[in-house]
Amino acid sequence: MLSFLPGIIRGILASIMAFLNIIVLCSILFCIAFLKFIIPFKFWRKLCDTILIFISTTWVRNNTLIAKLLHRINWDVQGVETLDKNEWYIVISNHQTWVDIPVLQTIFLGRIPFLKFFLKKELIWVPMLGIAWWALDFPFMKRYSQKFLRKYPHLKGKDIEITRKACQKFKTKPVSVMNFMEGTRFTKTKKEKQNSPYKHLLKPKAGGIAFVFGSMGEHLNSIVDVTITYPEGVRNVWEFMCGKITHIKVRVQTRPVTQDLLGDYFNDPVFRENFQIWVNELWEKKDNDIGEMLLHNSEVRLEHFPKAVASEYPQKACGG
């Protein structure tokens, strides 16, 4: 443990190690991705998929080990005990900082399939990253704007159909799709600008999660509802690398994907209204949960750690 080092030194070391982790593993990943792309045989691509997921999981595990080496963090995580890496999930969460992403990756490591984000179809052409996202089977979506549909009304509903076909691969391959429903990181300025009725959250955007349900809802088993808080205050990635986050609280609730969530959000006004009511009720509860979590900073116990994290942190960590 190098947590005794000054924060700036730990930040530099963490940055160097994280950079090396990206360079080494991404180099291997791009090679495998290229081989998957040029050799279209099904058995070969299946083998490549296994290797690519192993590389991605190794990247997350290495980041977790870097945090363990340089920092002492109290992880208070509850609700991950019943998750299964062989199931299909949509993961939703509040969003306060880019640190949320490594937090989510850490607590779900070995618990659920590797987290993936819905991406705009145009992003497949991003140099290097596009082929990596394709190789890792990130779902690409085709979205038509309302202006476009007014000009070409015969294409109404085609975007969902195209994306649904792209998601057919997930029928037999477990997947976890990630969605930050606020669409951006929470700040007091953004909250005031949009006149959010919530104390700790921005207004949720129902259209994104509705699109996921419309595209692949029949393949999803459960909704993994995540609430993240930082009792010492929200920090950015650099501050996290410098060890200024010593306490992270996460609560996870699993909810079923019911038939009343699988309608046509964009063309059925009755379904859209009911769906928005469901989202607002979900968000109101999350806002209350955040308030409770910040109010009661209970002592961290080892059993609060998810199995994957507990294996990396065999002893209770204390702030410092």
Using one digit for the tens of pLDDT, what is the confidence trace for 292-318?
999 876 444 433 444 445 444 443 333
Full-model pTM = 0.84
Return the SS3 of 121. helix
* Contact indicator for 289, 228 with CB cutoff of 8 Å: no
Task: Report the chain's C-alpha Rg in angstroms.
Answer: 20
| Nearest residue to 83 via CA among 94, 91, 75, 93 | 91
Using one digit for the tens of pLDDT, what is the confidence trace for 40-86?
898 999 999 999 999 999 999 999 999 999 999 999 999 999 999 99
The region, left, alpha or beta by phi > 0 then psi within -120 to 50, assigned to residue 79 is left
HSE on the CB side for 96, CA within 13 Å?
20
Return the SS3 of 73. coil
Using one digit for the tens of pLDDT, what is the confidence trace for 112-139?
999 988 777 777 787 777 888 888 888 7
